[in-house]
Structure 1
């Protein structure tokens, strides 16, 4: 007996330790894990660093050019030793440096840096998408676990009813076909439990993947969740919150970046400069040098067509992106109004389940159970009342899941994180 007691104590301690190792994660904590560890978000951060590194060299000049030449050497070798005015053979050293227009360098740097804001907005939207996916998995597991609790409770009740019915069958107070039907329903509940556990496992794998953890890492979730009340948002007639959504702001940032690129192309009309220094050393002649300044003439018709056409092309691209932005705003406004409206109606249905439908079916079961205990009821009617209440409990949880999914979609459209 002492050994059995020690064994039980050891099992309880081990179970307690396992319970301590299992962490309970709230939805905000899941978001924190995703923000810290998901590689897609690190991708944007590295791209931003890449743009900053590129901008550091945006004002660089072209490298200087150094040339060394044999100058005015005659083809006849014997003429090289003759001292004649026409014998100008010698060596030449030339150094050339092109000086870009400062306006071009400044415009190039502004264009490169403008791409950083695009990536920042895209990162925010990617984070919003990941949070939405996490919500779907989290709410899916929550509803599955709630159903498991209901299945467990109703399975226990059904087993008790089956045992009672079998005992009464001996005294002809219960019919055997109904007992067999009850046993079949119990088997269906076991099958439903297996299906729900697979849903819990699927959601857990999805959440662990989003948090960049091993897919089999155990964790608990909140046992009590309530839908957020967004009823006041339904009364807002002119909701302009979608204008600040990251995906729309990303398009706006791309438009601004394209305008910066357009201004960069327009600087093609500005000239570049250059300077060249030549040093000559000839036989029997004093050393000479020359300094030459250079300037490009980009306004020449055969040269200006290139940058002018690029500027016009970018203008049409900007108009196209503005059309894209306007379309996204229309769709976002539509989706936000649809989701908040559907959420309001689904919430009312859920409220009806909780306040009227479920209590009515529960009273029906309790009255039939009382009648059955007093030998004035029928087991078939009692089993039907049990089954109807179970169905309505499952429908209520399904409706709760629909409310949570609509809430997740609404928060996704509003970018509420």
Structure 2
């Protein structure tokens, strides 16, 4: 008979919808995606090159200015250009060196060193943000794959419902409206499939961009997943970890140190800079043959900060304000980090509990309800509309389970990036 065969197919589809498919070759695991992103992402490489460039700056600023070598012709008569005509005519060569006031070079190098250290932390921060984005997109793609699998399974089930309704209608035990209703729900599922397929293409392109691959490159994800979610550390412990580990905060602290060094350097500008030089002048013999001695010239000059009130003092005021700005920025960032931790922590706990509830309670009960209603419908004890509604409800619950599981893992990705550590579990 047709109906028992359809029931058997229905039960088989229910079982298949809850069992993961076998592993396929070329699967992009989450860890593989993370490794590719760290190695190939151009945005991260750009920040790494910036850090490398900044590491070369401190030694430049800590070195003395290049010495100046000069060659001069002094007191040369323009009527004859004869080197022996005038007593003071000489050809002179010399060298001079600018010397900043003691401590200035060290402060310049120190400020640049702090900025270079901040750039190193910026690379670490960018890496965490990249890993977070890759994780979120990977899990979104994972959710879309599971949702499409559920839709396809439910389409097959609704087609079975159509056959059941048509069979009962042909033997005079059913209504034509039951067939039409099942076809309508099947069309709705086809519409959802189109929507999710479009979202999957968009997410795939975004993930491929982070992996530095062509936007249309195919991505295959594993269908197996344990579904087990970890237990997080206490929120206060995550705050403490973030304070010690978050690269963004460490970068801002180095920026504050650099601002302090610039303030100290501005205060040093009240003191003069020096310039020393030595010049040797060679003189020719006189026209009568008398020998003339060569001359040695030594020079020492210094800057005089006579405009200190409008220049140096203003620079000190500027650097003081910049230092306070960076300190306020650190406090603002710390407040933001704590808010992000609390938000991600709360979202993880909520979605974790939802996933557990769906998987252990709601979905098994919904499956039993569908099987019971199907059996009742075959003996005319259940209305076909209620049967279809129960199946659509099961479809929604299964989709919501994968969505909650995905959101929980995305919250974990956000939490790891905000804290700056992977070890956030008990």
Q: Same fold (TM over 0.5)?
A: yes
1:222-261 equivalence runs, <5 A: 222-225=222-225, 226=227, 228-234=229-235, 236=236, 239-243=239-243, 244-261=245-262
Asked if structure 1 preserves the Cα contact closer than 8 Å seen for 2:278 and 2:297, the reply is: yes
- Identify the residue that residue 295 of structure 2 maps to in structure 1: 289
Candidates 278, 281, 284, aligned match of 1:279: 281
Answer with 365-374 or 300-309: which moved more: 300-309
Q: CA deviation at 1:140?
A: 1.0
Asked if structure 1 preserves the Cα contact closer than 8 Å seen for 2:341 and 2:415, the reply is: yes
Q: Please say if 1:66 is aligned against 2:70.
A: yes
With over 3 angstroms needed to count, the CA separation of the structure-2 counterparts of 1:72 and 1:167, relative to structure 1, is: closer
Unaligned runs of 5+ in 2: 1-21
Q: CA deviation at 1:266?
A: 3.9
For 2:325 and 2:241, locate their aligned partners in 1 and report how far apart those are by CA, in whole Å: 23
1:177-326 equivalence runs, <5 A: 177-225=177-225, 226=227, 228-234=229-235, 236=236, 239-243=239-243, 244-268=245-269, 269=271, 271-281=273-283, 283=286, 284=290, 286-296=292-302, 298=304, 300-302=305-307, 306-326=311-331
- Helix, strand or coil: the match of 1:24? coil
- Identify the residue that residue 41 of structure 2 maps to in structure 1: 38
1:60-139 equivalence runs, <5 A: 60-71=64-75, 73=77, 88=87, 90-101=89-100, 103-139=103-139
CA-based RMSD of the aligned residues comes to 2.9
For 1:179 and 1:172, locate their aligned partners in 2 and report how far apart those are by CA, in whole Å: 13
1:318-337 equivalence runs, <5 A: 318-337=323-342
- Identify the residue that residue 368 of structure 1 maps to in structure 2: 373
For 2:265 and 2:332, locate their aligned partners in 1 and report how far apart those are by CA, in whole Å: 28
Q: CA deviation at 1:399?
A: 2.7
1:286-322 per-position Cα deviation (integer Å, ceiling 9, x unaligned): 1231231414255x43368634432332122111110
- Identify the residue that residue 168 of structure 1 maps to in structure 2: 168
For 2:52 and 2:381, locate their aligned partners in 1 and report how far apart those are by CA, in whole Å: 79
Asked if structure 2 preserves the Cα contact closer than 8 Å seen for 1:155 and 1:186, the reply is: yes
Asked if structure 1 preserves the Cα contact closer than 8 Å seen for 2:266 and 2:319, the reply is: no
For 1:81 and 1:28, locate their aligned partners in 2 and report how far apart those are by CA, in whole Å: 84
For 1:404 and 1:221, locate their aligned partners in 2 and report how far apart those are by CA, in whole Å: 16
- Helix, strand or coil: the match of 2:166? helix
Q: CA deviation at 1:336?
A: 0.9
- Identify the residue that residue 403 of structure 1 maps to in structure 2: 408
Asked if structure 2 preserves the Cα contact closer than 8 Å seen for 1:124 and 1:246, the reply is: yes
- Identify the residue that residue 16 of structure 1 maps to in structure 2: none
With over 3 angstroms needed to count, the CA separation of the structure-2 counterparts of 1:143 and 1:21, relative to structure 1, is: closer
- Helix, strand or coil: the match of 2:234? helix
Q: Which has the higher helix share?
A: 1
Asked if structure 1 preserves the Cα contact closer than 8 Å seen for 2:111 and 2:257, the reply is: no
For 1:140 and 1:238, locate their aligned partners in 2 and report how far apart those are by CA, in whole Å: 25
How many pairs does the alignment contain?
392
1:87-111 per-position Cα deviation (integer Å, ceiling 9, x unaligned): 5352231413124246333333333
Q: CA deviation at 1:285?
A: 5.3
Answer with 373-382 or 214-223: which moved more: 373-382
With over 3 angstroms needed to count, the CA separation of the structure-2 counterparts of 1:79 and 1:45, relative to structure 1, is: closer
TM-score (norm. length: structure 1): 0.84
